[in-house]
Structure formats: C-alpha cells, structure tokens
Chain A
C-alpha cells in the first residue's frame, strides 16, 4: 500500500494534503529540496516562499507568518534549520509558542560523505531543551507521513527530523507521543529513535540466535517522552540500552536515563549507544559510518551481550 521509499517524499506528500485543505499552511524553504518540492511549488505557489540561503531569516519569516495566522513549516537539511538559526528558533518561535514546524532532511549520518558540516548529530539534544517544542524522529516513510498530520493537529513549535534511511518495517500506525514496541523480549530492552531502528532489529535477530531476547521500542517522539511505556519496559527488562544516530550527550539516551532515574527504576545495565564526544574524522555512507562508530547491528549486538553478561 505504501510506495514512497523516502521519508522526505512522505513528508511532502502529507504537507501537500494539508496545504490543499488549509490555506493557512505555508512552506518557508531555505533554498533546498531540488526535485523534492517541485510538485508542491507547482500546486501551491501561494503557500510557498523560498527564503533563500538565509536560515535565520527563514525561521523569522515563518515565525512572523505564524504570528499573523499562518501554519508555517520551515524546510532545510542537516543542521541548517536548527543550529544555524537556534536563537530564532528559541526566541522567536518557541518563546512566542508560534505555530512553526521545523523540518530537517538528513538526520544523523544521512549525508555521510558530505562531511561534519552536514552531520545532524546534536539536533535532538539541542532542540529538546527548548521549552514547549515537540521533537519527532520517524523511523520510516509511513511514520513520517502519519506524524506530519499529527504534528499539524497539535500545532507548533515542533521539530521533525527526516532520515535518509528507513527502518524497513511493514507500515503500521503510530501515535504522536506514544512509543511503539516493535519486537518483544524480556532479557533486555533497547529504545531507538529514527531510522536506525533497523540496526536495533538486526541486533535483536543476532542476539536471539544466542538465546538473548531483546525488546525493541521505537521512540519516534523524543519530546514529550512516553514516560509510562518507557519506565514500564525498563522496569520489566532491567538491562537498558538506547540507540540514536546522534551524540550520546543530551539526546534520547539522556532523556531516558533522566526518566528512569526520576521514576526510581532499578537497572542492572544502562548503556547509551550513540556517538562519543568527538567529531568524526572520516566520511562515508550512512552504513559505513554507523559501523565505524558502533551503531550497526553487529556492534549493537556485541555491546548488548557484553553488558548483559557483565551486569548480571
């Protein structure tokens, strides 16, 4: 039933449907999306503006439009719509609780060969610290499509992180703010955000062959966190792992550590699987960089099995 292989196409499809039914929808672009936005621009010329290569202004324009009744979306890649214009996102959009959804194509190592400038690997931690914002990292195109509608219903401020990859699971419905268990298991649990979910599932397959059943939970909504689901799963499994194509400081793993600690969940193991506190010094495609930094299925399986053995 689902024919879009890329999340960004699914997002644009959803936004087109929203634009068709609501003239308030405005797409404010940062001069990116060659070939991706062509159809939207042709169909909705009055609901589209290209702010040029000027992300601070793109965000401010979107905020001004939202404060006068528009439902604005900013669109760019990597860190450009978040870190480049962080103060516009904080002071203008979030402080005014403006109805702006920031869309970044290229989460994590999506643009791996392009270099560090294009790695979106601190975006989750930075955005989730902003008061009132909703932070979402879908794991596949169907989720991106569904969550775009749900974010629209909720209203901004919001951040939608679009990955190049896809978890590749059969399409199933998701609910904003509700974590989704995609594989059962009682020995350990791994919480994952974004398309890197596929690596968690690959690790679970490997571990299962060795007799360790890893529960896999897709946390597409990083903020607000689904505390009930996460703390319940953590308490049941007690060996906890988090996975993100992102630095370990402040992202999903940190959010879950905070949640578990504050809920008093007793843990035997807790490991955040993500990028260490260094910038990558090589480039490569997404699969290559995941493997290099211990984020591929094989590395995850090894991390989990060692931790569970050590912490029994």
Chain B
C-alpha cells in the first residue's frame, strides 16, 4: 500500500467513525471521495498546516459539502487541527458541521452545503490569483448530482472563456444521487464532452486509482481549465454500503458500525466507542 492509499484508509476509518458517533448522514459520500481527497492532501496541494492562511497556498474547495467529514479528517491528519476534534463532528456546539464549514476550522477555504456554489467561487479565486501573477492552483471537487445545478454551468462557461488553466475540477462520478441513479434522474452523458464543449480539458480516470488520479491532477493544459471526471463507487470500501442510496442517509450504528470498521481492518467490537 502506498502512503496515499494508507492515508485513504485512515480517512475512511475516520469517516465511518465520525458518521457513527455523530449519527450523521452522508457516510457513503465521504467514502466515495476518500481516494481523491487522500491524493490531493498527499503532496498534490501545496499547503502549510502551520500557516493555513499562507498566501502562496493552493486552494481546495469541497463543493459537495455534504462529504465534509472526509475533508475534516484529512485536515486533522495533516495537522491543521487536532485529530481528537473529529470526535465532535455533528454534535451540539461543534464547529464541524455536517456540511463543510470554514468557521473555526483551519484549512477549510469555503463553506459549502448548498450545491452549485464551489465552482463559481473557485473560478473567482483562480482568476484573481492569475491576475496577481501567482502560480497557485485551485482545485474544486464536485458531485455528479451537483451538475444538475445551473450555476455549475455558469461557472464552467466563465472558466472556459477566461482560460483558467490554474483551475482543476474533480467530479466524484459515483452515478448515484439523492433518490437514485444519475442516469435515470438527469443524465449527464456525454459528460466529458460537455466540459470539452465548454472549453475545458476533460479527462476520465478511475477515482480510486491513486496513480491515475495523481497523473491526472498533475496535468495542466495550456490555456484551459481541467476537469477530471473520476469514476467512483459510492460507499467505496464497505461492501454493504457500496452503490446503495440508503447510505447517503443512514448512519452506521451498532453491528453495522462494527462490520464496517472490520472491513477497514479495525476491530471495534470490544472498544468503548463501538
């Protein structure tokens, strides 16, 4: 297992544990993006946990804010704040809301939760950073269902027109949205072609293949923003959660939690927090 694969496994354990403790929804969404987040936070993003406001940093926006547990876990593991803070996720008085929030959470660039907000703000960041002559990149993770939002395409048009080569979108294409399959709700195909038609460099990768993700994230097209359509599996890593809409909502409890953690190589059956 590579470093980032080990990191992804840690993130999955955190996500399952946080969603269980907090009895929060969206556990499967966090598992879906765990590999993308792990690769980003393992050497792709140019960031400094000791100086979260460092002006030269890359910007990362989780536009699908409901998968925030995974980003909180990555930030904690990278040292932006103490890992023990993750225990407060979703609980009374906590800063770690179910949808990712910047207030009181070092390392979060943008609070999201209502879908369709992240790409426009990311494009504004990319435009201004380029205007200032910076070399920073801006990364935005979108969900597939989020691409139903018109504001995503407003921003895609803008970024293509302004040739924001420092902007990179990664779409968590797990092909499930709130009530069912994306293809049966609002079909997005031909998906990559849509982004190309909007002036983007579009790639398609296995969103759980760290080597492929790393290669795609390193790509920076001349004069075009990049969109990585990442084929993923919702609930990836927990057999009984994979490809199940139920786990967009359900929190793993009791035996479910024990079974999920066992699949991630942790025996919590005897532990206090099981």
Question: In this assembly, does A64 line the interface, its C-beta being within 8 Å of a C-beta of chain B?
Answer: yes
Given contacts A87-B114, A91-B111, A60 and B128 within 8 Å (CB-CB): no
B66 CB to nearest A CB, Å: 14
Q: Roughly how many angstroms separate A306 CA and B10 CA in the complex, as a whole number?
A: 74
- Whether the pair A57, B110 counts as a contact (CB closer than 8 A) is no
Q: Roughly how many angstroms separate A64 CA and B131 CA in the complex, as a whole number?
A: 13
A57 CB to nearest B CB, Å: 4
- Whether the pair A26, B120 counts as a contact (CB closer than 8 A) is no
Q: Roughly how many angstroms separate A69 CA and B114 CA in the complex, as a whole number?
A: 24
The 0/1 profile, CB within 8 Å of B marked 1, for residues 44-74 of chain A is 0010010110101101111111111110000
Question: In this assembly, does A92 line the interface, its C-beta being within 8 Å of a C-beta of chain B?
Answer: yes
- Chain B contacts of A63 at CB under 8 A? 120-121, 124
- Chain A contacts of B262 at CB under 8 A? none
Binds A, one of B41-49, B80-88, B153-161: B153-161
- Whether the pair B157, A60 counts as a contact (CB closer than 8 A) is no
- Chain B contacts of A96 at CB under 8 A? 102, 110-111
Q: Roughly how many angstroms separate A95 CA and B132 CA in the complex, as a whole number?
A: 25
- Chain A contacts of B109 at CB under 8 A? 67
Given contacts A87-B114, A88-B117, A64 and B124 within 8 Å (CB-CB): yes
The 0/1 profile, CB within 8 Å of A marked 1, for residues 13-42 of chain B is 000000000000000000000000000000
Question: In this assembly, does B125 line the interface, its C-beta being within 8 Å of a C-beta of chain A?
Answer: yes
Q: Roughly how many angstroms separate A206 CA and B119 CA in the complex, as a whole number?
A: 56
Q: Roughly how many angstroms separate A208 CA and B124 CA in the complex, as a whole number?
A: 54
Set B122, B128, B155: member contacting A26, Cβ < 8 A: B128
Set B114, B121, B154: member contacting A64, Cβ < 8 A: B121
Q: Roughly how many angstroms separate A69 CA and B173 CA in the complex, as a whole number?
A: 33
- Whether the pair B154, A56 counts as a contact (CB closer than 8 A) is yes
Q: Roughly how many angstroms separate A153 CA and B199 CA in the complex, as a whole number?
A: 38
Given contacts A96-B102, A96-B110, A61 and B117 within 8 Å (CB-CB): no
- Chain B contacts of A28 at CB under 8 A? 124
- Chain A contacts of B114 at CB under 8 A? 87, 91
Residue of A nearest to B130 (CB): A68
B62 CB to nearest A CB, Å: 14
Q: Roughly how many angstroms separate A173 CA and B261 CA in the complex, as a whole number?
A: 67
- Chain A contacts of B120 at CB under 8 A? 56-57, 59-61, 63-64, 88, 92
- Whether the pair A67, B125 counts as a contact (CB closer than 8 A) is yes
- Interface residues in B163-184 by Cβ distance below 8 A to A read none
Q: Roughly how many angstroms separate A62 CA and B113 CA in the complex, as a whole number?
A: 19
Given contacts A67-B109, A91-B117, A57 and B128 within 8 Å (CB-CB): no
Q: Roughly how many angstroms separate A60 CA and B121 CA in the complex, as a whole number?
A: 5
- Whether the pair B121, A67 counts as a contact (CB closer than 8 A) is yes
- Whether the pair B131, A46 counts as a contact (CB closer than 8 A) is yes
- Interface residues in B119-167 by Cβ distance below 8 A to A read 119-129, 131-132, 150-151, 154-155, 157-158, 162
Q: Roughly how many angstroms separate A28 CA and B124 CA in the complex, as a whole number?
A: 10
- Chain A contacts of B126 at CB under 8 A? 64
B149 CB to nearest A CB, Å: 9
10 closest A-B pairs by beta carbon, nearest first, are A64-B124, A60-B120, A57-B154, A61-B124, A54-B154, A64-B125, A65-B128, A64-B121, A56-B151, A68-B128
Interface residues of B (CB under 8 A from A): 55, 59, 102-103, 109-114, 116-117, 119-129, 131-132, 150-151, 154-155, 157-158, 162
Selected A-B contacts with CB under 8 Å, 16 pairs: A28-B124, A46-B131, A52-B154, A57-B123, A61-B124, A61-B155, A62-B124, A63-B121, A65-B125, A67-B110, A67-B124, A68-B125, A69-B55, A69-B132, A87-B114, A95-B103
